[in-house]
Structure 1
Amino acid sequence: MMAHSEHTPKGALDGLLVLDLSRILAGPTATQLLGDLGATVIKIENPKTGGDDTRSWGPPYAETHDGKSDLSAYYMAANRNKYSVGADISTKEGADLVRSIAAQADVVIENYKPGGLDKYGLDHATLCAERPDLVYCSISGFGQTGPNRSVLGYDLMAQGYGGIMSLTGAAEGPPMKVGVGIADVMCGMYATIGILAALRHRDATGEGQHIDLSLVDSQMAWLINEGTNFLASDKAPIRRGNAHPNIVPYDVFPTSDGHVIIAVGNDSQFQRFCKAFGREDLGGDARFVTNPDRIANRVPLTKAITETFEAYETAKIVSMLTEVNVPSGPIHTVAEALSSDQAIARGNVVAVENPETTAGKVRLLGNPLKFSKTPVTYRRAPPRFDQDKNRLSDLLARLTVRRKG
């Protein structure tokens, strides 16, 4: 696997040790991001279950030489730049091992049911009392407090409880979840931000703290304008398919050969949009002159644009609107997106060496952060279960030396 060398630039979090007691997606998203930024992440996995649940969430899997791959694509999405150590925390040996790592860690992150780690002495109260400078992040479905604190939570439940499904899908269709586990991913992003903020506080004061984060809280927080639309009006938002509640035209329209995205953000763009297609009649229509007018008359304007676009191919529409600086674009498949010239130029797909696989490498989604001084690095492919237990002592010793250096 790729490893540190004198030629590998140090990440912004180099020297930081993260003890990862999380699984599935929210916690692993946070710890992968910390790892991408240079932190050393030790992922503890339960040998009774074969490790992280997502190892078996396939197919597809990366093919391995032993024919027993536990590298599902789902697992690999959130577990690079980590070391895997198997430990059964229900045993004294396993709990002691995890506590020995925690004694050196800067950060502990876990997503057990609230109170689930108490009996093992791995809860935040115990570890933070032993290590007042420890940053300890707990992720759960509903948080450490409240009437639902004991309710188990997965991404789909969070999307349902938190309101986003009521806004997603066709106007006349059923509530719809977002196509990926966005509640988990956004919770992981909030966790990362919270951990970095807590580390800055620790570095300034020597004081650690406990971070309590839930999938549902995170999901409600990113209701964004639809959430504040409701709070300002007491009117429940409705599903509009691809349409925007506050901007018109901002939607997906059929073309002669597919579909096109139009995102007219202001009145001057709308005038240029109309002129490009010889529809000055729409630009001069009192019903459509301003954005509030267009919102009030959404249906007739949408009908007029749909009829206009019937004669044009998607590429032609995009070309015409790009020429007059009106935002528009195609709707790519995943294959088209990841193979586009823009994706290639920006490094949106990366190949990370992995001798465990028959291909000798795995292809992963790249980290979008571009640093001028401390670039993201891809040092380790997602590990097999427990592949690093025999090197744990050496790893911790080297990390201690590097910190002192």
Structure 2
Amino acid sequence: MFNVQAIRADFPILTQTVKGKNLVYFDNAATSQKPKQVIEAIANYYETINANIHRGVHYLSQISTDRYEAARETIRKHVNAQHAFEIIFTSGTTHGINLVASGFEPLLNENDEILIGALEHHSNIVPWQFLAERTGAKLRVIPMLENGTLDLSSLSEILTEKTKVVAVNHISNALGTINPIREIIAAAHAVGAAVLIDGAQAAPHLQPDVQALDCDFYTVSGHKICAPTGSGFLYGKESWLNKMRPYQGGGEMIKEVTFEKTTYADLPHKFEAGTPNIEGGIGLGVALDYLNNIGFDKIAAQEQSLLEYATAKISAIDGARIYGPDTSHKTSVVSFNIEGVHPYDLGALLDKMGIAVRTGHHCAQPIMNFFDIPGTVRASMMFYNTFEEIDALVNGIEKAKQMLL
């Protein structure tokens, strides 16, 4: 049995009131809440350890280094990477994608192509546009269908020997669509292209196996998986990481520096310039331990139940339209509009009832352009949400309708 009340006790923020109402937090796709275990780990770091890593012979520096590198090993095990040095600490998914895009600049020319999906977050669009502008390579897009899924019928035509990089998200942040990334990875590898998977929205809901997927890169934001903001990681295959140039220069990423020439450190430090977010990395490891202790199979089952319940309840509201595929092809996101109601107005009224949802284009403006809408209301759920909170959301929508229509 999934004891949601016991889980909720680990999240102090969920007990507070907002504008006199019990907080109902349905903005998890933007950022997840943090359990007290992660909060306590951050406080413990600053109270008992605080020292820079990899650079000191003194006790605190060694302890700090050990904790940080232990977190790297936790991440390696979690995603089943072959080597710990294939795990690069980042500030989040955006950092990871920019790191890879920058590293590919010397590897592309004007005859090459970069392929992305139509369901991408801006963070998996703009860095590749930058790369195309700098190299002359062409950016191509896998189109989407009316049901909010990628149209893979033309993938064999879009993927050619000119395709050098394919970058798609595992799960859409705007619609919750789960993409068939195994199929995309296999097709990309068949033409010799490298594949980056944006795992920001997938990581909170499932446990990726990077070796089974055979992806070349997989990047995750810590703040979406109950870890601190400003933390995250990039998995990269050793062969590709060795080919790529460093993203930033500075301390830690060097082997030897003279005024004439600099040689780079071995992996992973080649891509980790400067003093890192040490407590963020440690907190990320604690967060993954927390989620694994619950069990991703239990998390998935709970969130699927929430998704099906929320979908049925919101679908029954007069004038409601839900965007994206059915519940068997998506994660716990319901992105919807109410006919005649602007999503911002609905979100603002829900806020007055203590209900937090996201409104707008969700940093996925091409999706909204496809549907010819200004945005949606997005209710995104995590394992600590309840059916009673969904009822509160539905009641709030009905009240808002009475005020706005």
Q: TM-score range by the shorter chain?
A: under 0.3
TM-score, normalised with respect to structure 1? 0.23
TM-score, normalised with respect to structure 2? 0.23
**Considering only CA atoms, is the larger Rg found in Structure 1 or Structure 2?**
1
Structure with greater helix share of residues: 2
